[in-house]
Amino acid sequence: MVNVQDIPIDIHSSKLLDWLISRRHCQKDWQKNVLGIREKIKNAILDMPESQEIVQLLQGTCVFQYFYISCIKLGSSRWLEFFTDVNYFHCRRIVEILQDTEKNTKNFLGFYSSQRMKDWLEIQSLYQKNNVYLAESAQILQRLVQYEIPSLKKQITKAEQALVESAKKEKEYGKQAEDGRKMYEQELLRIGIQGHSLRAELLALAAGLTSFFAEITKDIISLKEPYEYYINFRQYIHQRSDSQVNLLPVVNLLLKKGLAATVFEYKYGVAPDTIETPSYDLLLKEDQKQSDDEIDFCDDSLNFENEEVLGFAVDAQIDVVGDSSGLCAGAVTETVARGEDAFCLVESLDTQKIIRNELNELLAFLVMRKEDDERDSPSDIFIRGFEKRPSGISKISPSQIEYWISEIKAILNQLLDEKKNYLFRIRSSQQYVEKVVEEIEAKKGLEDRYKKMQALMVERQDEARQQIAKAHQHLHVVLNSTKLLQQQLEKEISLKYDGRKVNIMGAITSALAN
């Protein structure tokens, strides 16, 4: 026959408190007695002897280690609020320690005159009454198993995930910072500047357009013959000389005056008396604010007063000095061209567009004429046999027209060149210069931005490592406290069953597993 004493008592940790109440070891209303005991513990701890053993004992509670030292340093007693895990077994051990430290206060009757000892003996007695200590310890054990330990493990898992993600993002931001640096360098290379003083370098690039404008104007002037051919052919077709019609007006003005022809003269029909070169001091001062580096432009200072082509700015402005009747009344004593009106015709973006349109018109005419002259159908030969064209038209051969076509196409290709158009806009618009500078600085800022984000990810990794270390340390303390409390409860319950083996099992087993 099996001896009952040999059969262990297995209790599920989550049902421990219910088991104790159902077996009538504890009362259902045990909690009402705990509040008074807690208050007495709080007051008793205020008057504790300086004992390293007591400090080490209380360090076994799951919160002491994280609040005691910092609160004591601050001179605060608030740390006492956190002794929620000081249980009966701690109190019993404190009494044992006080029996040694307070032994001098023991009288001949075996009683202690020390108030400390009286307080803790009272607390111990209150705990033992109706087995309140068993119910409280069981509740503490359940809370540790069901909430504290899983919560700490989740914190560790979350911190480890944050560590992995931060390391991944650190690499990504490092790559993006490198890509940003390459983009910035490629943009500088594409534009042809070094990036030390952006505004000054961009304006210096645009200053080199002066020779281009002179060359392109010279090429357009070389189109005088095809222009005259266009006029002569139109007059021949209409059988009249229409002096009121100004064909290709901008090209015509360039043919007459070359670089001396300004936008002002094209708009108002008269040449200005004075042309004022726009100033770029504000742009250059902005560069000086942003960088201490200086670029030497051989003392040119980007002043185009000595150039044939004057200035480049945005806001068109005309100052008329003299009678208020204006240009139309003929009473103007002096006219001043400023801003875009001071540009030569090939320099202004607006008139440059008109030039391209007029050259395309001339090109279309020449292509049509070439096709007509090369067509050898019987009807065309018959018509040419009876047709009497002026010498200015008849002497032009298809090969000559082909040559003119190639010249016009070459001019248009130069005017449509992407890099040249980029410089045209820089030269003609201070706002565009600012826009380009902002775009370049934005690309430059990408590297710094991603480097800062990369540094932030490094900081987050350090924080995550610290969180993991602290959580592991805290978890280690809680696990040890839980194991100890489990053993103490098993021993106390075993005493009530004449030493029968007690096993607290279930969720606690997985919770205590590493």
Helix axes 349-374, 418-428, angle to 10 degrees: 150
What average pLDDT does this structure show over 97-107? 76
Positive/negative CA dihedral, 294, 300, 305, 310: negative
Of 406, 305, 426, the residue nearest 363 (C-alpha): 406
Q: pLDDT tier at 3 (50, 70, 90 boundaries)?
A: confident
**pLDDT, tens only, 244-282:** 667 899 999 999 998 888 888 888 888 888 887 666 555
Q: What does the mean pLDDT of the chain come to?
A: 80
Q: pLDDT tier at 203 (50, 70, 90 boundaries)?
A: confident
Q: Which of 287-291, 311-315, 432-436 has the lowest mean pLDDT?
A: 311-315
Q: Is the pLDDT of residue 77 over 60?
A: no
pLDDT for the residue 347: 86
Query: What is the enclosing helix (H) or strand (E) of 12?
Result: strand 9-12
Q: Which of 4-8, 37-41, 387-391 has the lowest mean pLDDT?
A: 387-391
User: Higher confidence at residue 179 or residue 205?
Assistant: 179
CA atoms within a 13 Å half-sphere pointing along the CA-CB vector of 390: 14
Q: Which residues are within 8 A (CB) of 496 and not within 5 positions of it... i.e. 6 or more apart? A: 25
pLDDT for the residue 469: 95
pLDDT for the residue 311: 38
What average pLDDT does this structure show over 293-315? 40
Of 509, 472, 499, 495, the residue nearest 141 (C-alpha): 509
pLDDT for the residue 295: 42
What average pLDDT does this structure show over 163-180? 95
What average pLDDT does this structure show over 460-487? 93
Greatest pairwise CA separation for the chain in angstroms: 157
Between CA 512 and CA 141 the distance in angstroms is 12
Q: pLDDT tier at 434 (50, 70, 90 boundaries)?
A: confident
Q: Is the pLDDT of residue 204 over 60?
A: yes
Positive/negative CA dihedral, 424, 425, 430, 433: negative
What average pLDDT does this structure show over 7-34? 92
Amino acid (1-letter code) at residue 48: M
pLDDT for the residue 163: 96
pTM: 0.60
What average pLDDT does this structure show over 439-456? 92
pLDDT for the residue 2: 67
User: Higher confidence at residue 452 or residue 378?
Assistant: 452
Pairing of strands 9-12, 317-322: unpaired
Q: Could you give the percent of the chain with pLDDT greater than 90?
A: 41
* Burial zone of 301 (CB within 10 Å; 0-12 exposed, 13-18 middle, 19+ buried): exposed
66-102 core/surface letters (b: 16 or more CB in 10 A; e: else) = ebbeebeeeeeeebbebbebbbbbbbbebbebbeebb
pLDDT for the residue 470: 94
pLDDT for the residue 366: 94
Other Cβ atoms closer than 10 A to 273: 12
**pLDDT, tens only, 211-251:** 898 999 999 999 999 999 998 888 888 776 666 667 899 99
Q: pLDDT tier at 310 (50, 70, 90 boundaries)?
A: very low
pLDDT for the residue 385: 55
pLDDT for the residue 130: 92
What average pLDDT does this structure show over 17-28? 93
Q: Which of 145-159, 189-203, 285-299 has the lowest mean pLDDT?
A: 285-299
pLDDT for the residue 223: 93
Residue 337 tokens read as: 């061209």
pLDDT for the residue 284: 53
Q: What distance lies between CA 63 and its chain's CA centroid?
A: 40
Of 104-113, 253-262, 462-471, which has the strongest mean pLDDT? Answer: 462-471
Q: pLDDT tier at 344 (50, 70, 90 boundaries)?
A: confident
pLDDT for the residue 122: 92
Q: Is the pLDDT of residue 486 over 90?
A: yes
Q: pLDDT tier at 297 (50, 70, 90 boundaries)?
A: very low
For 157, list phi and psi in degrees, rounded to 5: -60, -45
Of 99, 295, 307, the residue nearest 203 (C-alpha): 295
Pairing of strands 9-12, 502-505: parallel
Q: pLDDT tier at 300 (50, 70, 90 boundaries)?
A: very low
SS3 168: helix
pLDDT for the residue 330: 45
**pLDDT, tens only, 132-155:** 999 999 999 999 999 999 999 999
Inter-residue contact 401 to 370 (CB < 8 Å): yes
